[in-house]
Structure formats: C-alpha cells, structure tokens
Amino acid sequence: MTGHARRAAIRRATSVIATVIACHAALYLSVAIAAAAVPPPGFFGVGGWSYPSDGQAATLGSAGLRLVRGALVWGAIQTSANPASRNWSGPDRLARDAAANGFDLIFVLNGCAVWACGTVNTPPTGGELPAYESFVRAAVARYGPRSSFWTGRRRVPSVSWQVWDEVNDGYFWPNPTPAAYAAFLGQISTTIKSADPTATVVMSGLTEFPSVSTGMALTQFLSGLYQQPGFASSFEVAAVHAYASDPAASVHILDEARRVMLQNGDGSRPLWVTEMGWASAGPASPFTVDAATQSAYLVSAWDTMLACRQRWNLQHVLWFALADLNANLLGQPDYWGFNNGLLGLDGTPKPAYASFLTFIGSAPLPGGGGNSCSLPGGFTVLTTTPTAAILSTPVDTNNTHSAFVTFSSDETGVELQCSLDGSPWIACSSPLNVASAREGIHQIQVRAIDSQGNIDPTPASASWLVDLTPPDTVITQRGTVRSRRHRLRISFIGVDAGGIGSFQCRVDRRRWTVCASPYTTPRLRSGRHTVYVRAIDRAGNVDHSPAYATFVVTR
C-alpha cells in the first residue's frame, strides 16, 4: 500500500471511528436526558409566615420560582367594621412582585377579624359573614385578571383562592364538621365567583391527623365532605398538607386523599399540596430533624411526588416556609413549625434551600431524580382496603404454653399485624401461638396492611379465657341413705367462673365415666356404696375434690 493510500485508509478509519463515537455520545446523552426529569414550571413553590421581601422575590423569580402562597387575613387588612379601613399595601406589594418576577399566587382566605369575631381562630359564619363576604369580594376584584391593579404591568399573574387553612385540624376552626365547612366553602366560593367567574377556588388544605382533640382525621373529614350536597361543585382543586414523620409517610397522605376522591367518583379533580416541610431545629416532634436531613427529606419526597404526579393528578407542591419565624416576636413558646424554613432567622440559606432551587429551576434534576415512579401500584391508587379474618381461635384453656390462632386476608401480598391484649401492633404470621400464663380473658386483634399502606379499618378480633382454677362440684339432691333400690339417683351442679364443660361420675372404685345430672347408677349389689361426681370446666380443669354421696342398699 502506497503512503498516499495508507493515509487515505487511515482518514477513512478515523472518520468511521469518530462517527461511531459521536453516535454513542449522542445515544448516551439522550439516555442521560431521558433519565433526568425536569419539573413543569410552577409545579414546586413556596409559602411562608410572611410574604417574601422584594429582594427574595427577585432572587427566587430569577431562579425559576413560579408559585407563591400567602395568607390574606381579614383583620390584618381591615382594622374596623368600616370598609374604608382596609389597607392593601402588604398584598399589593406581593402582587407587584409576582407580576415583576414571573410567579403566580395562591391567596389563603383564613382567619376572622378580632373586631368581628373576638378572635382570629374562628370562622366568620355568624352575623359577621356578610361583612366577610364584602371583604372577599373586594379582594378578588382587586387581584382578578381584569382589575385595573394590573394596568401597566408586564404580566398578569394567575391568582387562586384557598378557602381556609387546615380546617379539619381544629385549631383555626374549632370543632369542625364536614357539614359546616361545606356550607362555608359553598358560600365563599359563590362570593369569589361573583367577582371573578374564572377564578380557581381551592378547598382548605387538610392535615392527616388533627392537633386538637376536637379535630377530625383527613379521610374521615374528606369522606364526610363528599356526603354534603353541593360540595363537589363548589371548588376546582382539592388540597392536603403533607406533614409527616418522613418522606414515605408524607407521600402516603396523598394516597389517602386520592383514594377518598376516587371512591367518590372525583378522579378528574386535581390535587395540590399547599403545605409540607420538616423543621431543622426547635422542640422535639415527629417533624423535627436536623438541617442535613431536612434537605434530604425534601429531595426524597419531591422526587417521588414529581415522578408519581399522575398517580394523584398532582399539580402543585409547596414548601412551608421560606424562612424561620422567631417565636419571641410572637410572645409564644417555640414550635417546630417556626423552624421549617429554607432560610434561617438571619436569612442564611440552609442546605434545603439549595435543594429547593434545584427543583424550581429549568435544568434536569441530578441523578435521574423525579423520573421513575417506584411506589407500589405505580400510577394506580388502590381504592379498597384489605380485610383480615380470624379462621380459628383458642377455646377456653388451661394450657399456658400452647394456644394457637390462625388468620388470613382477602388480599395477597399484605402485611398482617397483631395486637394481643391491647399491646402495640406488631407484624405476625399465621398460625400464631398466643399462650399466656395470666389467668383471665385474652383478646387478639388482627389487621392487614397492603403494599400502599392501606390499613384494615375494622381489625378482626377474638377472645378466650385462660382458666387455671378448678371448678367445684355440689350435689343438690340424693336418695335416702338406706334403700331397697338397687339403682341410686343423684343430682348435682358445677360452679366455675368460666363455665362447666362436662361431668364425670363413678361408683365405688370403678372407672370415671361421662355423666349428666340427674345421674342414675347401674344396678348395685346389696351393701354400702359411694357415688362420686366431679365437674370439668370448659378450660379442662378437673375438680380435685369430687362431691360424693354414700348409700346402703338393703335386702
């Protein structure tokens, strides 16, 4: 091969190799991009104890923030019964920041005016309701899409209206009932629509469990709401607050709400998480972790919520809060919720702030985050709960070493849990030895938990008696001591707290045989005879001192 031919061959080979490398690089790049999700704009947002400052709004808007949630408290804006006392400067500033920095708003209509209700933490459902509706109507008209407030702004933010906050918790709405909130929601929704027919009405964010004894659990409250006439037509968006001990428990709250919605034929309605978060300091609580864990929990929970958003028809998720709150400024004891900010009291970013910026940005998430929904069931939420059944249970017994119960579930792949005599639930399998050395009544409860965390709401239960005390036997009637009869007759009873199972009788030294009262002996020879009877209780305990009667059969 000439030098020219060799160089040409090398050029051709080099070209082929370069093409192959380029193809592999492009393929790798496409796979890498496919494996890294990009959150839809506005999918993740933030709320706070107060509105973001102008500087924070500008910084976050530049970073990609597209949704902010803030409270619109009646008494903070209107300081007397005179509507002329309304001061809109606070929400006006937030609205201007939203228009200038590219984010939309959720205004939370929460809290009564003290001058109207005597306290903030109560709903304006009495005689003050017309005045409250006037305030709501004015707010919607002021920030609605056709308001003159937006004249000259470069964009008009979308504004949604959330009616009350954590209504089922019992704190902001004492003694809440589904009927009362459904009526209030319908009334305020009508007021909102009268000012802006295109407005989006969001129901109150529901907590999983109430912090006040008069509150109501999420599933119970939401199920009750769907039973109220007109409820389903009074709002556009359902909402939950996903506060929980860890990301898996937080995500389960969405399953709980979605299941109730599906059970009530409301699968097309979107669901928003209008609050969630963990504290990085403060008093010990199920929601208090350290700063590093706070960031890790945000990433884990948001990765799952993004990847599985189709599972819940999930549209928005908001962290609460942007910044910590100083409890001393309120004159209150510290509280975990005052410490769940992305920023510290002095504005210093916590590790969670950097994670938050990653999720609101427009770049693919690192490490393939948010791409694959790995929850049990994938995009499907089970609408049924599993049921456990007890197949066999111990009868009353005196056996302190061996007593078995068997059980099963109507679904496969479930976890079975047992509680013996009110003890904490623990994982168990059938058959289970429930023997106990404690005399008395014992109870076993069995429940099933499916792969999505649905818990059997009606655990199966059974009870039995451990009886270690022998019964007593009492002869109640007998014949005369001397008799010409060759068959003698006695009547008897047994005495035992757990009940008598059977009796045994014998004559003289013959074998014990099962008998019942009244008992007649076999034909006897003349002479003295003794008839014994002993009770056996249902647990199998035998009377150690049988009752007896002596007779003399005469010629």
Say if residues 360 and 65 touch (Cβ distance below 8 Å): yes
**Percent over 90 (pLDDT), the chain:** 87
Mean pLDDT, the chain, whole residue set: 92
Q: What is the pTM of this model?
A: 0.79
Alpha-carbon span 319 to 352, nearest angstrom: 10
Q: Does residue 516 belong to any structural domain of this protein?
A: yes
Q: Which domain holds residue 476?
A: 472-553
Q: Is the domain of 206 the same as that of 341?
A: yes
Please say if the pLDDT value at position 266 is more than 60. Answer: yes
Q: Is the domain of 211 the same as that of 100?
A: yes
Alpha-carbon span 405 to 432, nearest angstrom: 5
Say if residues 76 and 139 touch (Cβ distance below 8 Å): no
Report, as an integer, the average pLDDT of 29-47.
Answer: 74
Alpha-carbon span 289 to 310, nearest angstrom: 29
Q: Is the domain of 55 the same as that of 96?
A: yes
DSSP classification of residue 481 = S
Q: Does residue 10 belong to any structural domain of this protein?
A: no
Q: Does residue 404 belong to any structural domain of this protein?
A: yes
From the list 190, 193, 81, 68, the residue with the least C-alpha distance to 135 is: 81
| pLDDT value for 33 | 39
| CATH number of the domain enclosing 357 | 3.20.20.80
Q: Does residue 379 belong to any structural domain of this protein?
A: no
Domain termination site, one of 338, 368, 398: 368
| pLDDT value for 368 | 84
Burial (CB count within 10 angstroms: exposed 0-12, middle 13-18, buried 19+), residue 238: buried
Q: Is the domain of 403 the same as that of 275?
A: no
Query: What is the CB-side half-sphere exposure of residue 503 using CA atoms within 13 A?
Result: 24
Beta strands in 451-541 (DSSP E): 460-466, 472-478, 482-483, 489-495, 500-507, 513-515, 519-520, 527-537
Say if residues 257 and 320 touch (Cβ distance below 8 Å): no
Alpha-carbon span 433 to 445, nearest angstrom: 13
Say if residues 489 and 522 touch (Cβ distance below 8 Å): no
Q: Does residue 30 belong to any structural domain of this protein?
A: no
Helix axes 178-195, 218-226, angle to 10 degrees: 60
Tokens of 415: 């976890």
For 494-529, how does the pLDDT look when each residue is reduced to its tens digit (9 = 90+)?
999 889 999 999 999 999 999 999 999 999 999 999
Report, as an integer, the average pLDDT of 328-349.
Answer: 95
Q: Does residue 382 belong to any structural domain of this protein?
A: no
Q: Is the domain of 292 the same as that of 398?
A: no
| CATH number of the domain enclosing 519 | 2.60.40.1220
Q: How far is CA 121 from the centre of its chain?
A: 25
Domain count, the chain: 3
Report, as an integer, the average pLDDT of 488-493.
Answer: 94
Q: Is the domain of 186 the same as that of 221?
A: yes
Please say if the pLDDT value at position 131 is more than 50. Answer: yes
Q: Is the domain of 238 the same as that of 188?
A: yes
Please say if the pLDDT value at position 34 is more than 50. Answer: no
Q: Is the domain of 395 the same as that of 512?
A: no
From the list 448, 458, 438, 365, the residue with the least C-alpha distance to 410 is: 448
